[in-house]
Amino acid sequence: MDLTVKGMSCVECLHEITNQLKKFSVIEKSTINIDKMEAVFQGYTSVPQGQFIETLSDTPYYLRKASEALNCQCCPEFYFSFS
């Protein structure tokens, strides 16, 4: 299972969000694509889908926290999806 975060306009927010979310124990690998301004977080295959989603259910909080920490005014529309 993957979590994709998009909507960033600056590299600082992209890196901050990646640093916040890759700390979770269900995340095996994180990848940043600067050209697309997105971050993809891959879960361990051994982690059930429900557990992955539940663990990352506070993602909106972490997106807002990252933006506020950087006092960013250019990234107002973060969004994410599970796949």
For domain 2-82, say whether CATH 3.90.600.10 is its number. no
Rounded Cα–Cα distance for residues 28 and 19 (Å)? 13
Cα–Cα distances (Å) from 25 to 7, 10, 28, 51, 54, in that order, read 24, 26, 8, 11, 12
Output the pTM of the full model: 0.88
pLDDT digits (tens, 9 = 90+) for 43-76: 999 999 999 999 999 888 888 887 788 888 877 7
The pLDDT of residue 71 is: 83
The pLDDT of residue 46 is: 97
